[in-house]
Structure 1
Amino acid sequence: VGNTIDEGEAAEEAPPQALSPEREARLRADAETIGIAAVKYFDLRQNRNSDYKFSYDAMLDPKGNTAVYVLYAYARSAGLLRRSSREVSTLSSSELALTEPSERALALRLLRFPEVLAQVQEDLLPSRLIDYVYGLAVDFTAFYTECYVVGSDQEASRIILIE
Structure 2
Amino acid sequence: MSPRTWTGRVFIATSLDGFIARPDGDISWLTNPPADPVHLPPTLPRTVKVFDQHMARVDCILMGRKTYEKVLSLPQWPYGTKPIFVLSSTSLEEAGEVFERDRIGSVYVDGGEVVQAFLRKSWVDEIILTHAPMLLGQGIPLFGFLEKDIRMSLRAVDVIEDGMVSAEYQVIK
* Structure with greater Cα Rg: 1
Higher relative contact order (CA 8 A, sep 6+): 2
The TM-score by the shorter chain falls in which range?
under 0.3
What TM-score results when the alignment is normalised by the length of structure 1?
0.21
Normalized per residue, which structure has more strand? Answer: 2
